[in-house]
Amino acid sequence: MPLLIVALVGCMGLFAALRPEAYVRYFLAESQRRALSENLRGVSITGWIIFGACTILAMAIPLHSMWNPLASVFGPLFFLVCATAYVWWGIGLLRKPDSFLKRTTSPWNRLPIWAVKGFGALLLLGAVGFVYGFAVRITGLLR
């Protein structure tokens, strides 16, 4: 499962590196798009960095036995990063669902606003689950 996540993030980085204008159009909010519209080279460089880091991590996963002392730190950190991402997207969908609908293509742009807000609420609920997982892992570490 971790390899699948690394591969997915790596593919997103490669997409940002090779097609920064499409990446900005599909995956960033309106304000982010305006801010980065003149700096597509920076988006491309960031995409190459993400892709390279994921490639190195995918090659290093078989060597995870050497990383066992660090596993207790990365587990809770993963929960915290996922919770932050869920909160970011959940609040964005709850505050401006029409912005999401404008960026998507058919059939997604025909969703009712209440469905987008409902998905945003589910993301916030998922963030609560990730925060709970973080708290459980930290509690286990501190014992």
Domain count, the chain: 1
Range of the domain at 128: 2-142
**What are 49-102's pLDDT values in tens digits?**
999 998 888 777 766 666 666 667 777 888 899 999 999 999 999 999 998 888
* This prediction's pTM: 0.56
Residue 63 tokens read as: 């060597």
Angle (CA) 15-17-20 rounded to 5° is 80
Give the residue among 20, 40, 29 at the shortest CA–CA distance from 100. 29
Amino acid at 118: G
DSSP-derived 3-state class of residue 113: helix
